Structure formats: C-alpha cells, structure tokens
Amino acid sequence: MIITYLRSSSVSSYAWCQHKYWLTYNLGFQDDSNKKAEKGNVVHKALELLANKKLCLQNGTSTFTDNELKQSFSTVEISPESAILSAFNHYQNKSIHEWDDKDLKECSKWTWDTLLFNNGMFSPLSRNIEKPEQYFDIEIEYPWAKYEYYLDDGTVMSGNLRIKGTMDLITRVDKKTIEYIDWKTGERKNWATGKEKNYDDFYKDFQLRLYHYALHKLYPEEENIIITIFFNKSGGPFTLCFHKEDVKTTIEMIRYEFEKIKSCHFPSRIIDYGKDKWKCEKLCKFYKEKYEDTEKSICDFMNKELIQLGMNVAYTKYANKKTVVSYGDGGGQSNRENNDVEK
C-alpha cells in the first residue's frame, strides 16, 4: 500500500479497518464527521482561543486573529463564554447535523469542566503558553524510511516518510521542561479493541509517541518533555514524562507502523469477519452509502475493483493523487495546518 506520511488518525484508521484506510488515505474518499467529534472540536477551539488570549497577555499584544474562524479578538475582552460561543457558532454553521441549545450547554459544560479542574490546573489561562495548535511536518531521515512506488501510469513516487499532525497546546514548565497538553472529549478506550486505556497503554500509545518525537525535534534543547492527556469526561488528566533516551523506542514504533502499512497488498475489511459487522452498518459511511450510479456500497464496489484490478491499477483509476501526500485529505483538518495567531 502507498504510504508517504503517518499521522495519529491514519494509524488509528488502519487499526480499525485496513480497507477504510485504503479508501481514505490512498484514494481520497471523504468520511463524514460525526456530531460528537464536532462538539469536541468546539471545546478544542474554545480552549485554543483562550490559549491565544493568554499568549497575547504574555506578549503584551492587544488583539489576535483566528484564521479558521476568520475573526479577530480583543485580548482583554475575550472570555470563556465568548470563546465557547464563537467556536460553537463556527462548527454549527458548517455542520451537516442539527444543533440546538442542549448541544451548546454540553459544549459549555465540557469546556468549563476542563478550565476549572483542580483549581484551573490545566486551564490555558493559568499556564505559561509556548505554542497553541503546534503543527508539524517532519521528515524521517533513516534508510528504512525511504519509499519508492511504481504506478501503473508510469509515475514513480519516491521520497522519505514524513510524520504530520497538530498538537493542542504546548506550555513552558521551567527552563528545561515543556509540557504538551492533549484535550480529549471522547471515551478513554482503544476503539479498535474496545478496551479502556491505562497508564501502561499510554506509554505505548502511538499518538503520544508520535507527538513525543515531534516535540523532541521541534524543541531539541529540552531535557524533559511532559505529556498530559486530559480526558474531559473519562478520568481527567494522565501525565507521562518522556526523556531523550525514550526517542529510540519511539523511532522503532514509527518504523513498525510504516512498514506494516507499506507491506499490505490487500487490505482486509471488518465486514468480512462477521462478529463486528455492526461497526460497518452503524458507523461507516462507506458501507452505508452507494457508489455513484451503482447498487453497491462504496466499500463493496471498491473491494470488487480491488480484486479485479489489483491495488496499483485501482489506485491509478480512482485515486485523488494528492491524498497520499496531503495532511488535509483523509479526514484531516487542513484548516489547522498553518493556523498561527496573527499578532
């Protein structure tokens, strides 16, 4: 399978269903967002706005602009309430789902629960802000990270694996230590296995390891990198401390995921294994929706094409060619890619 970059959601997608990964991250089919995830985005955006307020207060800046919202804010005037409302209105207006006052109340509660936890311990307003919404796009410079794909149309795609992502909030603890805070509004479980995650799982969690490596590259002088994953509705904060000697293990984890996906020549489907069929019927757009001008689902139609044509020809025939290199495709939030605050 073609793979040119890794991000946490792509690895999660592959673990969930290899065929869905192929449709999304190789061919460029767009999955629908669910309402719970969109409400989580409201909380993230509200906290991001408050982090930018605090950063401007640190820098003595009177206003800032959010590129995604296309809106300017007064550093003094923006409050938790106005941040929540701005975020809510933005995601409500772009959503395919119906929203009401109950949704606003839930988003407000989740945001305030985060801000007030343990007397504001993880509130952006009480932190020394280093960088909100830190985007990264880092090349992995090891021989094993090289790839070369020969496509059916004669195109050769070559390069080195890159890792990409956007980190919620980086704060300064002291001169030698930074802390990354990751907000989670969902459940504290592995969605591929259904098991609840604990501290041992978090030390092995690919997303946290990927972000650890990115932080190691972005902040090479830091002696300590603390990562806190904050489950708003499912257990609160879980804090882990990584050191420079942990980087080797992280690199091996990145290599493992890269080589596993790269070596896949026929992606499996959840639907073919029976017991978890409900996941396809209830949760997957590609199983529920028909492929254009056919009676087959997108999943079944493309699986048939994969069998008949092979992966290489199917890719050449159906792929949006930018998908395999673009952060924004494959379900990503491309508007977060360069969402720096204008000061």
Structure tokens at 202: 């978090």
Q: Which band of pLDDT confidence, cut at 50, 70 and 90, is reported for residue 140?
A: very high
pLDDT (tens digit per residue) in 179-227: 999 999 888 877 666 788 888 889 889 999 999 999 999 999 998 999 9
99: pLDDT strictly greater than 70: yes
Pairing of strands 156-160, 146-150: antiparallel
| pLDDT the model gives residue 20 | 96
The mean per-residue pLDDT over the stretch 16-40 comes to: 93
pLDDT (tens digit per residue) in 283-335: 899 999 999 999 999 999 999 999 999 999 999 999 987 777 765 443 333 33
The mean per-residue pLDDT over the stretch 162-187 comes to: 94
137: pLDDT strictly greater than 70: yes
Mean pLDDT, the chain, whole residue set: 90
268: pLDDT strictly greater than 80: yes
**In angstroms, rounded to a whole number, what is the distance separating the alpha carbons of residues 128 and 106?**
28
The mean per-residue pLDDT over the stretch 272-277 comes to: 81
| pLDDT the model gives residue 333 | 32
The mean per-residue pLDDT over the stretch 95-102 comes to: 94
The whole-model pTM stands at 0.87
| Contact of 98 with 27, CB cutoff 8 Å | no
CA 213-168-27 angle, 5° bins: 75
Which has more confidence, 47 or 200?
Answer: 47
338: pLDDT strictly greater than 90: no
57: pLDDT strictly greater than 50: yes
The mean per-residue pLDDT over the stretch 160-170 comes to: 97
| pLDDT the model gives residue 339 | 35
| pLDDT the model gives residue 327 | 52
Residue of 95, 81, 116 whose CA lies nearest to 40? 95
| pLDDT the model gives residue 133 | 96
Minimum mean pLDDT among 99-108, 120-129, 173-182, 313-322: which range?
313-322
Q: Which band of pLDDT confidence, cut at 50, 70 and 90, is reported for residue 34?
A: confident
The domains of the chain are located at 5-29+130-265+323-336, 35-129
Percent of the chain, pLDDT > 70? 94
Structure tokens at 138: 């880092």
| pLDDT the model gives residue 191 | 63
Percent of the chain, pLDDT > 90? 77
**In angstroms, rounded to a whole number, what is the distance separating the alpha carbons of residues 326 and 149?**
17
